[in-house]
Chains A and B, each alone.
Chain A
Amino acid sequence: MLETFKGLLVTLRELFKKSVTIPYPLEKRETYPTTRWLHELKRYDNGLERCIGCALCAANCPVHCIYVEAGENTDEQRFSPGERYATVYEINMSRCIFCGYCEDACPTEAIVLEKNYELADTDRDRMIYTKDMLLVKGKGPQDGG
């Protein structure tokens, strides 16, 4: 009998403690600097894209969810420093396992997994994220700059 009371005391105590759940989406839990969710293709400070279309991210990806096609920069239309940039860059988000191997592979720190985890959708085709959806805003030829 005493034992039963001891157990009920625990639950009673818990009843008056502060709740640990948070009312998402009204309140969102904190993320950490390392937190890995939706990718972003970063730029340099001068506005040029970091991505040079080398496709090492696609090579390292364990689920092969990245597709890259590369093209040549010209002096008139320059996307990235150097000769090469990504003309096509797609990630199939429904396949991505957010392991961060693409980030490890990138030699220019172009692809970085950022904090946006609100990726749910109802259409499988919309889960294919294209370059314009991944590239951070800037003033390159992509944005008419």
Chain B
Amino acid sequence: MTEQSKLITAVIDGKQVTVAAGTMILKAAESIGITIPVFCYHPRLTISGSCRMCLVEIEGGSKPVTACSTELAAGVVVYTNTPTVLEARREIMENLLINHPLDCPVCDKGGECLLQDHAYDWGPGASRFTERKRLFRKPIPLSDRILLDRERCILCTRCVRFCDEISDHRELAILEMGGNSEIAVAPDRAFDSQFSGNTVELCPVGALTSTSFRFKARPWEMARLPGICPFCGCGCSIDIHTRSGNIMRFMARENPAVDDGWLCDRGRYGFDLSGGSERLTKPLVRKQGRLVAVSWKEAIATAVEKLRRAVSQYGPGAVGGIGSAWSSSEENDLLQRLIRESLESHNVDCSLTDDGRPAALALAEGLGTFTFNDIDRADSILMIGADPSRYQPILDLRLKKAVITRRTPIFTLASTDGEMARYARESLRYRAGSEESLLRLLTAAVKKEKRYDSFESDLRAGGLSREAIDRGLERAGLGPRTVVLVNASLLTDDVRVYLVKELVAAMGAGASTGLLFDSANGFGARTAGAVPGYLPGLRPIDRGMSGPEMVVAAERSTLKALYILNREHHDSAAVARARRGAELLICHALFLDEASGSGDIVFPAASVFEKQGTFTNTAGLAQSTAPVLNPPGEARPESTVIEEIMERLKQ
């Protein structure tokens, strides 16, 4: 709903400012470089106007007004620096500090606290308060991740508004009234939202703190480097804070194209990859049945020799390589080059349990075009087999935003219960396994064709009727400006890919389509050619064995050598099966466990934070990361190892 906004002009602090009509004074001032202090205001939440810190004077006005909630009227003269304004700020600060506990030295927020900063900039230098401050028991765990300190809370309600407006989980509320007001988890609820960590970042004081970061470091002790979260297909922008060679925490780094400045808890708190285990720091080679630590020179030489022997003895078809949808595009590219160019085999995939090829075919057929911004503008959204709240949480927030703010109709069909059900205009369940029938019937419904046949009965067996689908289509209003989101793992074969293509075509030109990958680089692994039948850039090539096929072949000893990247992200049972028959198992791993410990050559890998890499998120956005830590011991990034092996194999 856009209308040509009228522009109005006014004066703030003697400077002229021209903004769209309806702009609040706070934003107008910001646009000409004037900062007004706030507590309760946040650009991505609704306006509260409760803290009164942003009071400004309007010429001719009877009393100061809140800049955050007062529209700039044409021709007004606003002052943000008069004695009245400064006095107001002083008094607000004094008021807020009356009951504030003397916690600064023990409070995690110290050094990055809005209350401290505003108290210094605008408040008095000494306290006049001689009474007793109110006391609460503290800290109170709101969940196993978030702690509440009621004494520090200044009741800005940012946390409550976040839970109400953004995550829509509505767990937090203000109980009691007036001087007894306190933030609490709403009755009969638990603060177990996967977005709870955002409230800690939002909180302007140290009232909400995370158990993950508790007492770990002071803000000035940490180095801050930009990064991309590697824990799901969203690829949110993050700031990685490190101290003494360890990651202390992630914080949001707003990227409007992806995350709107929010993070999910899985990503935010998932940076400790070790879980207490020791990292591999030296290359290991199996000698006389035992893994022995050796030099890099020896490990690489052994790998080169054994790979060469495998190919010369059994032919290139007996070797295979597995990249990873959780490794960078560069690593996947190098892996496929090792297998295809150096070893002349076509057995490349990025998973041991699923065939990576169909999703690549889908991308090649143009089914991966959507962007997160399309969600904001969509007329309607069709989701098939997707549960973003579990696998792409920030996308889930984006979808909720569309529903809450624009009432975008969503039609979701899934085989499991998902959170989208509550927001969708129509939410239907189908039986897992009946995806092909579903796609055909959907297409037919879109085309308004009658098709009473086996597909319909297949669906009906799972409780899904044609009528329900028709109703859903009508209620959601699907058409050319619909965004179609399909769970990538749904695409188990080429047939399904073409069915999706047909469905999208049926909806008309302009429909934006997307595959939802749960992995950080599912998209990029495929465009890097780590799938059977595709070179980088999705150029077709001879198709070799898929990952599952390689597992079977290895078990049967028809595949002799298997080279695995990123061992931690591959199914250990599959590795074990392959190990049973394969003669040569080489893997890059962070830790030594049963699976990596079964290898013949184990290279100590660098974690995603210890190397450079490009990751393409599920919306096709390629983002590069730089290392923030050094790999421990002699661990090396996979890319340098593969490059060296390839170099040696040439000789």
Contacts and interface: CB of A to CB of B under 8 A. Distances in A.
Contacts of A70: 215-216
A82 B221 CA distance: 23
Contact of B105 (A54, A58, A71, A72): A54
A84 interface: yes
A108 B220 contact: no
A53 B215 contact: yes
* B contact patch SS: loop
B215 A72 contact: yes
B214 A72 contact: yes
Contacts of A58: 218, 221
A134 interface: no
B106 interface: yes
A59 B105 contact: no
B508 interface: no
A52 interface: yes
B106 A59 contact: no
B366 interface: no
Nearest to A55: B218
B214 A108 contact: no
Interface residues of B, number: 12
A107 interface: yes
A59 B220 contact: yes
Interface in A29-83: 52-56, 58-59, 70-72, 82-83
A62 to B, nearest CB: 14
Nearest to B111: A59
A84 B139 CA distance: 12
Interface string A105-129: 0011000000000000000000000
Interface in B100-114: 104-106, 110-111
Nearest to A108: B105
A54 B106 contact: yes
Given A58-B221, A59-B220, A83-B139, A107 B214 contact: no
A107 B215 contact: no
Most chain A beta carbons < 10 A, residue from B104, B139, B215, B218: B215
Contacts of B111: 59
A107 B221 contact: no
Contact of A82 (B106, B214, B216, B218): B106
Contact of A52 (B105, B216, B218, B220): B105
Interface of A: 52-56, 58-59, 70-72, 82-84, 107-108
13 contacts: A52-B105, A54-B104, A54-B106, A54-B110, A55-B218, A56-B105, A58-B218, A59-B111, A71-B215, A72-B214, A84-B106, A107-B104, A107-B105
Interface of B: 104-106, 110-111, 139, 214-216, 218, 220-221
